[in-house]
């Protein structure tokens, strides 16, 4: 996995989400939840706010510019990308800890490349843990600050979350990119949203 940095002021991702949820500090969002249990910590009111943002929200316009200006240059061919990034809130003291997995086990192409973009400090047990080589299971945390992102192989490397004992909620978004030459039409769908892995549905062209 490789870590890169970018200019936070060009995109304002954290600021736009702070405005959307009405919070000054994304790392303390757990304090504002009225209910907090194993069923709701992956579908909180904040998840609902993020997923209700319209496609024309400034966040998504800036996201597309981010893909074009920061991500496309990392490839030596045309790419397609996950048109709606996935929001993650890894609450302090979270109860729902996802099983470790490889994304290819969930219908994803083994050729996809993952990008992890934290909007708060991502460290220790509040971030994603990933093995260094397929099958090694030597998990280590993807630690990064706001303004940094990881390019990594979530399709083929086992990864997952732990119980967050840091005292700080991690807010991030992530998305997948596919080199255009690896794109084939298929009837496979994403497991979580049931969206077909096709251009115009799960993916978008630059």
Binding site for Fe ion (CB under 5 A): 103
Work out how close the CB of 167 gets to Fe ion at its nearest, in angstroms, rounded to a whole number.
25
Q: Which is nearer to Fe ion, 11 or 102 (CB)?
A: 102
Q: Which is nearer to Fe ion, 114 or 120 (CB)?
A: 114
SS3 21: helix
Give CA–CA dist 203/189, Å, rounded: 11
Task: Determine contact, residues 89/47, Cβ cutoff 8 Å.
Answer: yes
- Sheet with 140-141: strands ordered across: 140-141, 129-130, 159-160
Work out how close the CB of 13 gets to Fe ion at its nearest, in angstroms, rounded to a whole number.
20
Task: Determine contact, residues 27/121, Cβ cutoff 8 Å.
Answer: yes
Q: Which is nearer to Fe ion, 11 or 81 (CB)?
A: 81
Q: Which residue is nearest to Fe ion (CB)?
A: 103
Work out how close the CB of 193 gets to Fe ion at its nearest, in angstroms, rounded to a whole number.
14
Burial letters for 40-52: b for 16+ Cβ neighbours within 10 Å, e otherwise?
bbeebebeeebee
Work out how close the CB of 69 gets to Fe ion at its nearest, in angstroms, rounded to a whole number.
25
Give CA–CA dist 62/9, Å, rounded: 11
Q: Which is nearer to Fe ion, 103 or 112 (CB)?
A: 103
């Amino acid at each position: 996995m490789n870590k890169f940095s970018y200019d936070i002021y060009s995109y304002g991702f954290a600021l736009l989400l702070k405005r959307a949820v009405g919070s000054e500090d994304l790392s303390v969002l757990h304090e504002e939840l009225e209910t907090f249990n194993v069923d709701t910590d992956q579908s909180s009111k904040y998840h609902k706010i993020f997923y209700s943002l319209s496609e024309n929200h400034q966040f998504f316009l800036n996201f597309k510019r981010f893909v074009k200006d920061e991500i496309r240059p990392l490839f030596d061919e045309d790419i397609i990308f996950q048109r709606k990034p996935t929001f993650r809130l890894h609450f302090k003291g979270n109860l729902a800890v996802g099983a470790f997995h490889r994304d290819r086990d969930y219908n994803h192409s083994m050729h996809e490349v993952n990008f992890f973009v934290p909007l708060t400090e991502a460290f220790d047990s509040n971030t994603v843990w990933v093995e260094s080589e397929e099958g090694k299971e030597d998990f280590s945390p993807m630690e990064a600050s706001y303004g940094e992102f990881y390019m990594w192989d979530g399709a083929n490397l086992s990864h997952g979350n732990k119980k967050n004992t840091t005292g700080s909620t991690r807010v991030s978004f992530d998305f997948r990119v596919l080199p255009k030459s690896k794109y084939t039409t298929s009837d496979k769908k994403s497991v979580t949203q049931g969206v077909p892995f096709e251009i115009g549905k799960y993916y978008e062209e630059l």
